[in-house]
Amino acid sequence: MTGDRSFLGKKGHVYLVIAVIATTLVQWFLVNSLLIFWLTGCRLLYDRAPRTAVRRAFSSPSFLAFLAIFLLDVSGFLHTHDPQLVWLHVQQKATLVAIPFVITAGPFADRAAFRRLLVAYCRLLAGLSGWCLVVALVHFTQTGDGQVFFYHSLTAALGINAVFYSAYILMGLLFLLSRDAPAGTERAILTCFFTTMMILLASKLLMVLVVAVFAVYLWRYRLVMPRSRLLGLLVLVVLCTGTIAFTNNPVAGRYKAILPGEQQTKPGFNGVSLRLFIWRSAETILGREHAWLCGISSGDSQDRLNQSYLDAGMSVGYLDYDFHNEYIEVLVDDGLLGLAMLLTAITVVFYASRRTMEAVLVMLVVGLLAGTESILEMQQPLFLACFFPLLPWGPKPPVLAHPADPPTHGFMHK
């Protein structure tokens, strides 16, 4: 029957999606835009049923939720002093319509196609991460500076923010730890490698989430995994966490830098104090403009924030730093009405995708990341936020009737 086949059943479509992800990660944004346009066209014309595709998308609550977020930026034309800047935001956020359309306009991926896509995705991440490590090693041999293996220095070879790249790595880890990942040596190696990358990338929030994710999966597999293996993994997680927390290393240093004592002894801003200043500035801007209800538009908000930096006597290097919080970003751009729409859209997507633990964890990661970064204002986190929450993370797994029942596959197998 027309339209009943999985879109990723065609390997060419899998490769096209991987190409979109690759060009997003390495910031080839012109090529990326062309590929997204191509991907949307392939979905629209799939099985020669464009009307069916459009009808299915507009009957999907998840697609409508992302469409509503996109329309928030479009509404900025109604009350901005800089329509050109609003237009740039609208162009960028077209991804919020295109990618959800591709996923919701019909069956996107069956179990086999989903696995094929995520395996290719993990291999792509492994290749890009390997390149980052090679470039860092070359820099280390030239400078002797070990910092090149950590945080933004490590991802400079790709030109991507280390926090956003950490989120992409965490998506790969969620797949590798799930029941959908094919068992084998490659899975174990990639899991260890991605965990190491998460440590090197040293994102404070996402490092905490990694520990939480491993704790969730250890609890999930506690009844079916051999006790010796469960204990070994538990000891490994505790040792790694303890080593990072109680030794002098760049990763622990990022956490110590935000402690109250450190804030008093070191001049300038750290990750926490800078965000607090920005968020207080948002309150000041909305109060001064009397714009709590409808905001001041995406065309004007950055100019107002830049003026707050200058008024506080901060370095010009801070100019064009965004609000580092998507909820506050939307509040300033579109007011309380816009924030209410954003929270409603998030609730709708969460409700539609909550059928598996992996889907819930993806939404948790995206939701928490939006609290520390403006994830819909840059292409890389924007794509992550509208792609991974909509993926079909598999049917809800059956509840085992007895602890001795054999698992389907995964880390429990010898």
203 & 317 share domain: no
Give me the pLDDT at residue 400, please: 39
Residue 382 above 90 pLDDT? yes
94 & 185 share domain: no
144 & 235 share domain: yes
173 & 309 share domain: no
Mean pLDDT of the chain: 86
| 362-377: pLDDT as tens digits | 999 999 999 999 999 9
229 & 294 share domain: no
pTM for this one?
0.88
Write down which residue in 45, 80, 108 finishes a domain: 108
DSSP H or E run through 148: none
177 domain-assigned: yes
131 & 188 share domain: yes
104 & 176 share domain: no
- Of 193, 191, 195, 194, whose CA–CA distance to 183 is shortest? 191
119 & 247 share domain: yes
Share of the chain above pLDDT 70, in %: 84
Determine the average pLDDT of the residues in 120-144. Answer: 96
139 & 207 share domain: yes
Most confident residue range from 38-52, 116-130, 191-205: 116-130
Give me the pLDDT at residue 253, please: 56
How many CB atoms within 10 Å of residue 10?
Answer: 14
Give me the pLDDT at residue 81, please: 85
3-state secondary structure 43-107: HHCHHHCHHHHHHHHHCCHHHHHHHHHHHHHHHHHHHCCCHHHHHHHHHHCCHHHHHHHHHHCCC
How many CB atoms within 10 Å of residue 183?
Answer: 16
- Of 199, 128, 121, 120, whose CA–CA distance to 159 is shortest? 128
Write down which residue in 256, 274, 298 finishes a domain: 256
Give me the pLDDT at residue 327, please: 96
Q: Domains in the chain: how many in total?
A: 3
- Of 411, 6, 414, whose CA–CA distance to 218 is shortest? 411
240 & 144 share domain: yes
Give me the pLDDT at residue 101, please: 97
Determine the average pLDDT of the residues in 137-156. Answer: 92
Give me the pLDDT at residue 114, please: 95
351 domain-assigned: no
Determine the average pLDDT of the residues in 381-387. Answer: 96
DSSP codes of every residue in 327-357? HHHHHHHHHHHHHHHHHHHHHHHHHHTTTSH
Write down which residue in 108, 135, 152 finishes a domain: 108
Round to whole Å and give the CA distance between 220 and 360: 14
Domain extent, residue 138, equals 110-256
287 domain-assigned: yes
Give me the pLDDT at residue 221, please: 79
174 & 252 share domain: yes
Round to whole Å and give the CA distance between 102 and 21: 14
| 300-350: pLDDT as tens digits | 999 999 999 999 889 888 888 899 999 999 999 999 999 999 999 999 999
Residue 258 above 70 pLDDT? no
11 & 55 share domain: yes
395 falls in which pLDDT band (50, 70, 90)? low
Round to whole Å and give the CA distance between 193 and 387: 23
52 falls in which pLDDT band (50, 70, 90)? very high
Give me the pLDDT at residue 406, please: 42
Round to whole Å and give the CA distance between 233 and 236: 5
